């Protein structure tokens, strides 16, 4: 029994040699919110070339425990959501213009974080002219979104927090068709 306890203690210590060598930026934060899911829903599946694309984005807690997330849901590499668009052959399409919001949050501002109880969600919408998304010809396209936190869990006081140490969460894929 003592041997098992000693072995457990040795295995549970973080590898500080990686931290000292600059290979790891921080001591690993506990994995939280395995139940977070990201869902997207378009308002329709067929668009004319001159229309605006509209979509709802929902980050939901489908787990059994509360989890905190950043309350400000914005778009871009420095924010929460990344937008992915592909044509029928699977080739990534780069929008002509797309927001890259900068998320600045004071870590001690507890009001910046939202507690998601089980079966609750936090959401936003997205809309843009098809022309800005570079959807300027008829065809079939697929869309998905990724959620990643721009804030580290080590920098906030609320727990458990889904921070940038956690893996990005991918949404479902939706398909749209652009017609003349």
Helix (H, G, I), strand (E, B) or coil at 10: helix
pLDDT of residue 34: 66
Fold (CATH) for 34-179: Immunoglobulin-like (2.60.40)
Q: What is the pLDDT at residue 8? A: 37
What's the whole-model pTM score? 0.79
Tens digits of per-residue pLDDT, 116-155? 999 999 999 999 999 999 999 999 999 999 999 999 999 9
Predicted pLDDT of residue 82: 95
In the chain, where the domains are located: 34-179
- In the predicted model, residues of the chain with pLDDT beneath 50 are 1-33
């Amino acid at each position: 029994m003592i041997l098992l306890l000693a072995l457990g203690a040795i295995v549970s210590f973080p590898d500080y040699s990686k931290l000292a060598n600059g290979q790891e930026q921080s001591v690993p934060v506990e994995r939280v919110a395995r139940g977070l899911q990201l869902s997207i829903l378009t308002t329709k599946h067929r668009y004319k070339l001159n229309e605006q694309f509209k979509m709802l984005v929902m980050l939901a807690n489908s787990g059994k425990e509360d989890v905190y997330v950043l309350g400000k849901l914005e778009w871009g590499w420095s924010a929460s959501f990344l937008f992915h668009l592909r044509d029928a052959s699977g080739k990534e399409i780069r929008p002509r213009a797309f927001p890259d919001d900068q998320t600045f949050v004071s870590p001690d501002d507890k009001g910046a974080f939202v507690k998601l109880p089980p079966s609750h969600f936090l959401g936003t919408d997205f809309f843009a002219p098809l022309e800005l998304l570079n959807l300027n010809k008829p065809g079939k396209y697929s869309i998905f979104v990724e959620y990643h936190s721009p804030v580290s869990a080590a920098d906030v006081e609320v727990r458990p927090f889904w921070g940038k140490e956690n893996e990005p969460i991918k949404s479902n894929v939706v398909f749209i068709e652009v017609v003349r």
